[in-house]
Amino acid sequence: MSPASMDVTNPFYKPFRAPHEALPFDQFKLEHFAPAIERGLELAKGRLDVLRKDASPATFENSLLVLETCDEEASIAAEAFFNLLSAHAVEGMHALAAELSPKLADFSSDIYLDSAIFARIREVHDKRHSLGLNAEQLRLVERTFLRFRRNGALLDETAKARLRAIDQELASLGPAYSENILKATNAFELHVTDAARLEGLPESVRESTAEAARKKGKDGWLFGLQIPVYMAVMTHARDRELREQISRAYASRAFGGEFDNQVNVLGIARLRLERARLLGYATHADYVLEDRMAEKPERVSKFLERLIAACRPAAERDVAKVAEFKAAKTGDGTLKAWDFLFWSERLKEEKYSLNEEELRPYFKLENVIEGVFEHARRLYGLSFLQVRDVPVYHPDVRVYEVSDEATGNFVGLFYADFFPRPEKRNGAWMTAYREQGYFGGRVRRPHIGIVCNFTKPTESKPSLLTLDEVETLFHEFGHALHGLLSDCTYRSLAGTNVSWDFVELPSQIMENWVQEKEALDLYARHYETGAPIPVELTEKIKASANYLAGYSGLRQLTFASLDMAWHGTDVSAVKDVPAFEDEAIARFRVLEKVPGTNQSCGFSHIFDGGYSAGYYSYKWAEVLDADAFEFFREKGLFSREVAERFRDHILSRGGTEPPMDLYKKFRGREPDPDALLRRDGLLG
């Protein structure tokens, strides 16, 4: 695209004038993204062409740094687009994603399959120890060389052509998979007109479903499959038929019907296997794990089996206790998928005198936000100031300017998007609108966001969170701290650009504070009276922390094992998605399978979320976070000494060193593998 043909109204072609050069979300239109990305790719290709033809000796500056920075214009537009695709996918965005994703995949292939570019990277790599590079530059050289090798640089031309075709096809299948889930989720509506069917549901859910009905011109209540409504129904609705209807619908999203994902699941799994084998690996898991802390599928299997041995019998005991409780209350101990959460919650109420709804009034969203910010202040000396002159993509989004309390120095921008809407996918995640690191000729501070689907405020009540939602906020905020406190030179090594079985450590460790009275006292106040959460409630939260630890642990291990089945075995001949899934997770079932439901077709984490052959990372990182939090317990919940070690060796260093090296610098030793079982009360 020549400068003469550029649309001068496109905001991507002009300097960003908002504070801290924030993205001008208020100016973006759908038609801006494709031209901006395509222009950025043209600029990048021009720079790469200069690199390719450079006859001078390859150096860090004329080769590695050129490659690191060549696609800055394209990346800023692409990151904006794909962030919006997840958080605010207006009409036409999914179709555009299907068009753009293969082009971006092709550009990546152009780099990694280019023998001339690789020759220069290899030249720098071969002489790296004689170039006087600092530790981060050396790491960038080694990581870049590894990426080239793992993306086909050593293949012959025939194999390179096939690899390129595979990457393009995968780039189309991933967005198609996610689009089907979003459409299937939004397509479901359950219209309820009998108020008796709402018995047990929190008032906030009654109000939000009534509002949903009014917006559609209907009386009564309209139930969808967004997580806050789904969880409330499963946990509190006394109407068993209502629970069953919602449960079946949620568990069968994108499985059969108009938005069926079975073809996408098979296509993605087979192509990943073929890609791995082209590159010389037995399976996709072998390929992925080579570059993770775990290193090999065998080590993951050994790790999972140790946890399964502890969790499976504990899960069976958990289910038996809930069934026994249900039998005592109803005369029938049968537990279906739509019974377990409801009756386990009733048992929890009786055992600990704790009703989750008792906690909601103390978890007003604004108070919890203040609380998580206060944690960041006490631990890391950060201050958060809400600003209203930074553009946002939706009125729900809040933006905060983050500063170092001691120096006043700018740390980064923090975006927070909390509530469900039809244009947003389910779940919660952290993202970066601009990574920390070298960009536009200088090292810049990051723009980081978290996106959630929390209980919405209603006409009569503010957003009152469940305890699970509070933990989710702390979890995603931990990821955000990893991005905000990054102090690296190069973006590809900065922030959360670390091994995926290490990336959950900063997030999961933050969840530990949610269970502590000293931490709860900072923010848990009644939304009407301002009274602090009573001591007896904090004691109940602590006492119930390990409730159903076996069942919850086994559930996560089921997901991890299903992931490894799809990506750690030969799936080339698999034709039946539900049959393959059933065989993979049969030994994990502690509740009867519901016909017509399927996990794989709605498992976004592994089929379009970056966690393929990596879902075990959650449990792996739980070992790290349990061990790390024991250090805080030893020194004090808000120990600045331990927090500074965590910041200096974990949060600020990104991927500039191997993760185990970073952890040992923080802890003084390798993690204790029994720390998780000890915390969960499962250490036999």
Evaluate if residue 6 carries a pLDDT over 80: no
Report pLDDT for 458: 85
231, 251, 271 — which closes off a domain?
251
Could you tell me if 560 and 523 lie in one domain? no
Quote the tokens at residue 235.
Answer: 């946990």
The answer to whether position 162 is within a domain reads no
> In this predicted structure, what is the pLDDT of residue 4?
42
Spatial CA neighbour of 369 closest among 469, 227, 505, 516: 469
Are 289 and 301 in the same domain?
yes
Q: Domain with 472 in it: what CATH number?
A: 1.10.1370.40
Q: Is the pLDDT of residue 588 over 50?
A: yes
Task: Give the pLDDT mean for 68-85.
Answer: 97
Q: Which of 40, 51, 28, 112 is nearest to 76 (CA)?
A: 40
Q: Answer yes or no: do 500 and 370 share one domain.
A: yes
CA atoms of 170 and 168, how far apart (whole Å)? 5
Residues 452 and 577 in one domain: no
pLDDT tens sequence across 479-507: 999 999 999 999 999 999 999 899 999 99
Last residue of a domain, one of 154, 174, 207: 154
Are residue 23 and residue 59 in the same domain, yes or no? yes
Checking DSSP bridges between strand 429-434 and strand 382-387, what pairing results, if any? unpaired
| 168 within a domain of the structure (yes/no) | no
Same domain, 376 and 428: yes
Q: What span, in angstroms and rounded, lies between the C-alpha atoms of 567 and 612? A: 7
Please say if the pLDDT value at position 640 is more than 90.
yes
pLDDT in tens, 560-579: 999 999 999 999 999 999 99
Same domain, 609 and 628: no
Looking at the domain assignment, is residue 88 inside a domain?
A: yes
- What was the pLDDT predicted at 355? 86
**Distance between CA atoms of residues 359 and 354, nearest Å:** 8
476 is a catalytic site residue: yes
Question: Averaged over 63-67, what is the pLDDT?
Answer: 97
Mean pLDDT of 183-211: 95
Is the predicted pLDDT of residue 1 greater than 90, yes or no? no
As a whole number, mean pLDDT of residues 422-447 equals 96
Residue 25, SS3?
Answer: coil
- Residue 2 confidence (pLDDT) above 70: no
Q: Is residue 173 part of a domain?
A: no
pTM for this prediction = 0.90
Domain shared by 444 and 530, yes or no: yes
Domain that holds residue 193: 188-251
What does the pLDDT look like over 235-249, one tens digit per residue? 999 999 999 999 999
More confident residue, 252 or 684: 252
Inside any domain, residue 604: yes
Quick check: is 488 in a domain?
yes
The answer to whether residue 224 sits within a structural domain is yes
The enclosing domain of 324 has a CATH number of 1.10.1370.10
Q: What percent of the chain has pLDDT over 70?
A: 99
Q: Kindly report, residue by residue over 162-178, the tens digit of the pLDDT.
A: 999 999 999 999 999 99
- Domain match, 350 and 367 both: no
Q: How far apart are CA 121 and CA 63, in angstroms?
A: 7
Q: Please, which pLDDT band fits residue 293 given cuts at 50, 70 and 90?
A: very high
Tens of pLDDT, residue by residue over 113-140, are 999 999 999 999 999 999 999 999 999 9
With 80 as the cut, is the pLDDT of residue 650 above it?
A: yes
* One domain, residues 91 and 239: no
pLDDT at 5: 59
Calpha distance 426→677 (Å, rounded): 30
Is the pLDDT reported for residue 683 higher than 90? no
pLDDT at res. 612: 97
Instruction: Examine the domain organization and report whether 479 and 526 are in the same domain.
Output: yes
Mean pLDDT of all residues belonging to the chain: 96
> Do 215 and 289 reside in the same domain of the chain?
no
How many structural domains compose the chain?
A: 4
Using CA of residue 572, residue 297, residue 275, residue 40, what is the dihedral sign?
positive
Q: Which residues contact 331 (CB under 8 A, 6 or more apart)?
A: none
pLDDT digits (tens, 9 = 90+) for 510-519: 999 999 999 9
Question: What span, in angstroms and rounded, lies between the C-alpha atoms of 345 and 427?
Answer: 22
Nearby residues of 95 by Cβ (< 8 Å), 6 or more positions away: none
Catalytic residue, from 68, 401, 469, 476: name it: 476
Compute the distance between CA of residue 414 and CA of residue 483 in angstroms, rounded to an integer.
10
Task: Measure the CA–CA gap between 186 and 225, rounded to whole angstroms.
Answer: 7
Query: What pLDDT does 684 receive?
Result: 63
Residue range 362-417, pLDDT digits in tens: 999 999 999 999 999 999 999 999 999 999 999 999 999 999 999 999 999 999 99
d(CA 163, CA 271): 10
DSSP H helices, 402-524, are: 467-484, 505-511, 517-520
- Residue that finishes a domain, picked among 578, 595, 615: 615
Specify the amino acid at residue 669: R
Is 384 part of a structural domain of the chain?
A: yes
